[in-house]
Structure 1
């Protein structure tokens, strides 16, 4: 089943989370970046569900959080999410792992809106931190893998222009033929 959940994706640090937050302020239901949320939670509590400690448990936790968000969205409502299940396929491939059959099945079962917005590489805003440890070049390679994965799954990719946050939001909403926001 496909839902009106619009994925905003791209390499790490290219402006996805800022867009998701701006869309939330406009009144849309949004899902955050599950992997980053889990890493933050686990680091805060001293947990073991981290990609460098227990990769399998981490992948399962990320998948479950993405499924929970997908299932929380009504079939007719519009929602936006910072990365989708296909991103996990791309990250597994980037890290040199064959994505599991379960993960491939989840990417097939949980369908998003057919248009995916891609935040392209943007060196001027890229910042590393304790969770985003990839170099800009690595982030660009991850970006390429993400684009390939979504293309291979039949999604239509639309690059988000490199401009102000408000202009990027307006671009996405215009492409989807949605009003400027639920609360406006």
Structure 2
């Protein structure tokens, strides 16, 4: 099983690319943080990312999704974000890296859970806010830099996917995965 990660700036189009890859037959795993935010907001927490426990909840969701994602016939899985992204999020928010996240980072490294080549989806020149994404474009660019640092520090190689029409970005990622898994 080869597990690839899509990462990058909030609002860069990762979800659109992921859906396109799914249409092409790839098994995909959706982002955990957005669902954690939605659940907490449904319980009345307006800004759940301000609490340190937010990072623990994301890690728990990521671990659960990664464990549940395996199907016997799938050769490739594509993940919208990973625990390395959660590490970048903690840094960006000024929150401590909790023990559960440190342990998960150690586990995914020791077990080679994800391919060391990561698709870095570049920003589109804007960032549209949503209920879960309340970040300015300028802050999103800073967050992009934090992501790059986290992945590099943890030994990953970034495959740059520049801003372009979504269909071309999907084709780029699909063709690269096909080449890497041939």
TM over 0.5: yes
Q: Provide the aligned length of Structure 1 versus Structure 2.
A: 174
Q: Please give the alpha-carbon distance, in whole angstroms, between the structure 1 residues aligned to 2:85 and 2:125.
A: 21
2:52 is matched with which residue? 55
The structure 1 residue matched to 2:117, chosen from 115, 119, 141, is: 115
TM, length-normalised to structure 1: 0.84
Gaps of 5+ in 1: 180-184
Deviation of 1:117 (Å): 0.5
- Structure showing the higher helix proportion among its residues: 2
Q: Please give the alpha-carbon distance, in whole angstroms, between the structure 2 residues aligned to 1:47 and 1:134.
A: 17
Q: Please give the alpha-carbon distance, in whole angstroms, between the structure 2 residues aligned to 1:29 and 1:100.
A: 30
Q: What whole-Å deviation, never above 9, does each CA across 1:90-116 have from its counterpart, x for those lacking one?
A: 111111233123312201212311110
2:128 pairs with 1:127: yes
Deviation of 1:17 (Å): 1.1
Q: What whole-Å deviation, never above 9, does each CA across 1:40-76 have from its counterpart, x for those lacking one?
A: 2332343699223x431x2222111111121123386
Asked if structure 2 preserves the Cα contact closer than 8 Å seen for 1:5 and 1:112, the reply is yes
Gaps of 5+ in 2: none
RMSD of Structure 2 on Structure 1 (CA)? 2.3
Asked if structure 2 preserves the Cα contact closer than 8 Å seen for 1:5 and 1:70, the reply is no
TM, length-normalised to structure 2: 0.85
